């Protein structure tokens, strides 16, 4: 889960106004956990199409429902969708927090799966 802090750090500091209030580590950690509990992860695969890339939707989950994503993101992706280049967007409620790209190896299982329409 440590890999998520750099994605969420700016968001948590902004929500707490921590730069001005000087929030301590315990307050930052509690706000981080609250943000994770309210967050969703949206998964896309970067599908090569001609000379460009198309972001094909694969799923959206509450972070509390995908603990494996938080603990072992590469394993989560490889077991569920196989090899490929992936992008995961994180939202705390309706607020965009950040994105992270992954690369996994193996058969591209996602090619035989239907696209998930994401709004």
Output the tens digit of pLDDT for each of the chain's 119 residues.
Answer: 789 999 999 999 988 875 556 678 888 899 999 999 999 999 999 999 999 999 999 999 999 999 999 999 999 999 999 999 999 999 999 999 999 999 999 999 999 999 999 87
Q: Is residue 119 part of a domain?
A: no
Q: 13 — phi, psi (to 5°)? A: -60, -40
Domain hosting residue 56, numbered range? 2-112
**84-92 β-sheet, strand order:** 52-62, 39-49, 84-92, 95-104
Q: Is residue 54 part of a domain?
A: yes
Q: Is residue 117 part of a domain?
A: no
Q: Is residue 118 part of a domain?
A: no
Q: Is residue 90 part of a domain?
A: yes
Residue holding tokens 């890999």? Answer: 3
Q: Is residue 22 part of a domain?
A: yes
Instruction: Report yes or no on whether pTM surpasses 0.85.
Output: yes
Q: Tell me how many domains the chain contains.
A: 1
Q: Is residue 101 part of a domain?
A: yes
CA-to-CA dists, residue 59 to 41, 84, 85, 111, angstroms: 8, 15, 15, 14
Residue holding tokens 């198309």? Answer: 54
Report d(CA 90, CA 69) in Å as an integer: 12
């Amino acid at each position: 889960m440590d890999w998520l802090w750099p994605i969420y750090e700016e968001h948590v500091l902004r929500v707490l106004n921590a730069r001005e209030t000087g929030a301590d580590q315990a307050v930052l950690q509690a706000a981080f956990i609250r943000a994770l509990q309210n967050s969703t992860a949206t998964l896309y695969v970067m599908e090569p199409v001609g000379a460009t890339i198309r972001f094909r939707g694969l799923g959206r989950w509450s972070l509390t429902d995908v603990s494996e994503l938080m603990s072992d993101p590469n394993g989560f992706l490889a077991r569920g969708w196989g090899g490929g280049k992936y992008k995961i967007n994180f939202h705390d409620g309706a607020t965009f927090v950040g994105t992270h790209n992954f690369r996994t190896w193996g058969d591209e299982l996602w090619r035989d799966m239907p696209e998930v329409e994401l709004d």
